[in-house]
Amino acid sequence: MLSQVTSEQLYEEAIKHYVGGVNSPVRSFKNVEAKPIYFSSGQGPIIYSVEGRKFIDYVLAWGTFILGHSDPDVQKEIIEQLYKGIHFGACSPLEIEYARLIKEGFRTIEKIRVLNSGTEAVMVAIRLARAYTNRRKIVKFSGNYHGHVDYLLVKSGSGLATFSIPSSKGVPQEFIDQTIVVEYNDFDTVEKVFEEHGKDIAAVIVEPVAGNIGVIPPKNGFLQNLRQITKAYESILIFDEVITCFRNEYGGLSNQYDPDLVVLGKIVGGGMPIGVVGGKSYIMDLLAPEGQVYHGGTFCSNPLTLAAGIATLKKLKNQNYGYLEELAHLLQEGIVNIKNRYNLKLNVNRWGSMMSIFFTEHEVNNSQNAYNSDRRMFAEMFRFLVTKGVYLPPSPFEAIFLSFSHTSKEINYTIDKIEEFFMNVSK
């Protein structure tokens, strides 16, 4: 019976059981004025809908599947572990291999803890920073998203940006009173904030490359300056590399800037739920059972997750990231050529294998420019491309991702279809 069913029928049924028919808001496609597609399988760069329609996937579970869908080596490890045992709620040898692989990539990390989501890992990182410094205030950047942590749901990216929610209802004002929001890439304001509140600032948390308000790379010196000022005021610098970890190299930006704490997610779980917090021992050792900062979890370091993560990381060690860069460059160049040919007001922001198309003539280097881009045009393009078998993120504020399984064939097809869209628009 299920094989006959359509996405539309499933959605009609789903809205009876789930709020808005979904379990995470951006999946609703509401902001691009479309109805959700129900997917049933994925292979490499392709995902298939329940109707058997085929899509080139540029979402990749929000940046998770850097090897593409259903990677056979990752599947094999998950299946082997599945037969050995799904979970023990206790220590397993996989934990040792996993930690070594993470630390080979992230050379500034001394200790890690493996949790179930990026949100959880951010919560623990902030708790550690507050405990270590004995201070309360947190500096975050407008348009950066750090999961649905109460006190960071202020001018947040991702779903909140998509649905224009400045801060979440249900979060008491007292919870966000200690959160100071600064525009991304605006170090002058960070300096002023530190002059005024420096002695109360426990941590600065930043996405080193913003990926939740579309892709916005850091300005020259921005991350370096954050490192210096947090050192000078003895505050903790937290890099949220949930998206950027292992995306453009075997490791991340932390190796260059040496933050005190790093949060990882997505890719490091190989497609299974994960979040990792890591950092210097002098902070990490504050965690229970050594210290007085509590964190625990029934499903932490789940063996299936670790098996998928290990298989992914092992494979990434032997991948040529230059390939991803070339492929992403091809896509960017193709779109820029279309822009020039049709005299369009758009900008492609790219950091390696993640990118965004903003419909604006202005350079997009902060969240305000991103908000001011033409979202309706993005929505129209999304809907057109879906009919042609190209699945972009259903929001201009979510990044386009590439995987090692994509080839120039998919990229060239996508460029052709984007051109077709603009040919129709300009008629």
Chain positions contacting ligand PLP, by CB under 6 A? 62, 117-119, 122, 145-147, 158, 207, 211-212, 240, 242-243, 265, 275
Nearer to ligand PLP, 145 or 378 (CB): 145
Query: Which of the residues 11, 98, 132, 145 is marked catalytic?
Result: 145
Nearer to ligand PLP, 74 or 242 (CB): 242
Nearer to ligand PLP, 146 or 227 (CB): 146
| Active-site residue flag, 266 | yes
In the complex, least distance from residue 295 CB atom to ligand PLP, rounded to whole angstroms: 15
Question: What are the residue ranges of helices labelled H in 18-143?
Answer: 60-63, 72-84, 94-105, 118-133
In the complex, least distance from residue 26 CB atom to ligand PLP, rounded to whole angstroms: 10
Which residues have CB under 8 Å from 87's CB, separation 6+? Answer: 299, 302, 303, 304
Nearer to ligand PLP, 68 or 147 (CB): 147
Written as one letter, the residue type at 13 is: E
* Buried b or exposed e, range 186-203, using 16+ CB within 10 angstroms: bbeebeebbeebbeebbb
- Tracing tokens 């040898």 back to the chain, one arrives at 93
Question: What are the residue ranges of helices labelled H in 198-237?
Answer: 222-232
Across 195-351, the runs of DSSP E, i.e. the strands, are 201-206, 236-241, 261-265, 275-279, 347-351
Residue 393 DSSP SS3:
coil
Residue 116 DSSP SS3:
coil
In the complex, least distance from residue 62 CB atom to ligand PLP, rounded to whole angstroms: 6
In the complex, least distance from residue 128 CB atom to ligand PLP, rounded to whole angstroms: 16
| Active-site residue flag, 11 | no
| Active-site residue flag, 38 | no
In the complex, least distance from residue 368 CB atom to ligand PLP, rounded to whole angstroms: 19
Q: Are 62 and 25 in contact (CB under 8 A)?
A: no
Nearer to ligand PLP, 158 or 353 (CB): 158
In the chain, the N- to C-terminal Cα span, in Å, equals 43
In the complex, least distance from residue 322 CB atom to ligand PLP, rounded to whole angstroms: 25
The secondary structure of 240-275 as a DSSP string is EETTTTTTSSSS-THHHH--SEEEEEGGGGTTS--E
Query: Which of the residues 266, 280, 371, 391 is marked catalytic?
Result: 266
In the complex, least distance from residue 116 CB atom to ligand PLP, rounded to whole angstroms: 8
Nearer to ligand PLP, 201 or 215 (CB): 215
Burial tier of 138 (Cβ tally within 10 Å: 0-12, 13-18, 19+): buried
DSSP 134: T
Q: What angle do CA 140, 142, 146 make, to 5 degrees?
A: 55
Burial tier of 294 (Cβ tally within 10 Å: 0-12, 13-18, 19+): exposed
Nearer to ligand PLP, 94 or 122 (CB): 122
Number of residues that make up the chain: 427
Which residues are catalytically annotated?
Answer: 145, 240, 266
